[in-house]
Amino acid sequence: MFRNLTIFAILLALLVVVLGAYVRLSDAGLGCPDWPGCYGSLIVDATQKGHEKAAENFPERPLEVSKAWKEMIHRYFASTLGLVILVLTIMAWKRPELGQRGLTTFLSLLVMFQGALGMWTVTLLVKPVIVMSHLLGGLATLSLLLLLLLRVRQKRLANAPRVGPVKRLAVVALVILVVQIALGGWTSTNYAALACPDFPTCFGDNWNPPVDYKEGFVLWRGLGVDYEFGVLTNEARAAIHWVHRIGALVTTVLFIILTYFLFKLSALKEALMVGGLLLIQVLLGILNVLLSLPLHVAVAHNAVAALLLLSVVYVNFRLNKTTL
């Protein structure tokens, strides 16, 4: 039951991450200007009375029913995930032989912090550093749930001297991927996904575009600023986008090398998984630019990034010969 519930939690966490991306990319992050309810209610009130109440309490932000429902559905699923993780924690403490008390407790604390980040996302008006942190927290929750499942199953690659270098490479790949995902989140929350409308260059044939790196990577701009639809100049947004592209190139090269060495280890399933997801992710990133960021492609880009992260967590676990 513990293993099955963990599998359910992983699937639910993946759904929450994808829904979060959908909410963000459809500009529904402030679909509900309050928290945890929506215009003072736990269920979106689309009636005339609901519109009047929303206009009275939040005159600066009229009720948009479709955006409000997107945000609330995301909150419903996120709350359910928190409840499932709490149940896993209780089960782990009741069954010490599982040896997962520490990890499940940390997961419970992490999901509580995620709730706080969700609240701050709204109350701080989609502040980019908060939104990016919320994304990373969701992916950390997803990754740790997979780790929980793997630790219960205890399935690793055979011990061999040649595993050592590949294990170190896999750790580096994991770190670089997390940095690249953070850059992707920073690109999205600053509305910089189309700042460079050309591919592979930026602004025509320019390989060194006129960008403002300093302004693009200011993490904290004070309180009271409404960040919906972005506040940066085109040069600052282009800087963010260009750095994300450079990060994508570095990540791609590193993952190709990792895939090659996994094949050399005869870890064919792992190599195909990492290589296949990498190929899909690169294609989706290119399509985002060439097709001017269609919503379904952008959401898929986020979903595959989450799957790629899971694949590298899985590879790292399988390569690790010692008990975690």
Beta-carbon neighbour count of residue 115 at 10 Å? 18
Q: Looking at 56, 60, 71, 270, which residue is catalytic?
A: 71
| 3 state DSSP class of 38 | strand
| 3 state DSSP class of 41 | strand
Between CA 313 and CA 274 the distance in angstroms is: 11
Asked if 81 and 114 count as a contact pair (C-beta separation under 8 A), the reply is no
Matching residue, tokens 């800087």: 239
Asked if 171 and 316 count as a contact pair (C-beta separation under 8 A), the reply is yes
Q: Tell me which DSSP letter residue 293 carries.
A: -
* Nearest one of 230, 26, 42, 20 to 117, comparing CA atoms: 20
Residue 19: phi, psi to the nearest 5?
-60, -40
Q: Is 71 a catalytic residue?
A: yes
Residues annotated as part of the active site: 71
